[in-house]
Amino acid sequence: MRTAPLASVRLGSQGLQVSRQGLGCMGMSWVYGAPDDAESVATIRRALDLGVTFLDTAHVYGWGGNEELVGRALAGRREEAVLATKFGFERDDSLSLGRRVRGDAEYVRRSADASLRRLGVDTIDLYYQHRPDPQVPIEETVGAMAELVAAGKVRYLGLSEVDADLVERAHAVHPISAVQSEYSVWTRDVEAVLPTMRRHGIGLVAYSPLGRGFLTGTMRSPDDLPGDDWRRTNPRFSAEAFAGNQKIADEVRDIAAAHGATAAQVALAWVHSRGGDVVPIPGTKRRRYLEENVAALDLTLAEDDLVRLEPLGAAVVGTRY
């Protein structure tokens, strides 16, 4: 187990400091099988003990349930955490996905107040728009987010899954500290946006850095997933795609074996290799996987490893969603 303290890195150019690796809390409450609240709370507290202080949640994760869980875990330890949450989805059971995107100013303000109540905190450290609303100009949404900063309810602003044009327009309204996007050995889309982000000093928070668990090499078929696991509906986990994508996982696992590491640690080390302004937030609800993920910070991949991993993003079978 790693005993050295985690480094703190600057995320964005407005002063936000976060741990070099964060913890994604979504799967503790939503889409990845049955929850285990007691173990999840213990995992969050263990993360704080290890110096993983950057915690990520959102309103849509369990429709507030995940924020409440994180709030319980932080009771008495709020000052140790850098707390990020998101707004942008409104529940609508009349739609096939049960939700719709919403980014108007009134909804931004109402969502922030509700998240503060559920989390049991006075201030959100990093507040993201979870997805852009195509019906609402980004200038209106970020303008309302900026009002939250002025009111002391939010410290820093972020966006999620946006293109370069939206980054430019949002940043012109109020400085953006971070963009959160999926980023891993097999998902590279955000690299098209990175030059714009870096020009403005905006950090990247990488979610699903383990390819939603596929890159850990622990799954050999879709049947390894729980029956209620959302990944069963994901194109990359389908029976048709599984064999092709298994070749990617096997390559990661082979590199891991050469280092005496796990495949998850290699996948995380690859994300860390992309720059000090890239902070992965691997998710888990188990302490043992948290500790494994933290140990990835001790692994430095050789140039030959990076060369082997580079083409894997183009070899993936299936779309992200």
Is 128 catalytic? The answer is no
Q: Name residues whose C-beta falls within 8 Å of residue 73's C-beta, 6 or more positions apart in sequence.
A: 40, 41, 44, 45
Count of residues in the chain: 321
Best CA proximity match to 56, nearest among 298, 280, 269:
280
Of 32, 61, 128, 156, the catalytic one is 61
The runs of H, that is alpha helices, within 22-73 are 37-50, 65-73
Burial pattern 10-37, b for ≥16 Cβ within 10 A else e, equals: bbbebebebbbbbbbbbbbbbebeebee
Q: Are 115 and 87 in contact (CB under 8 A)?
A: yes
Token pair for 188: 């590279």
Question: Is beta strand 8-10 parallel, antiparallel or unpaired with respect to 89-91?
Answer: unpaired
Catalytic annotation, residues = 61
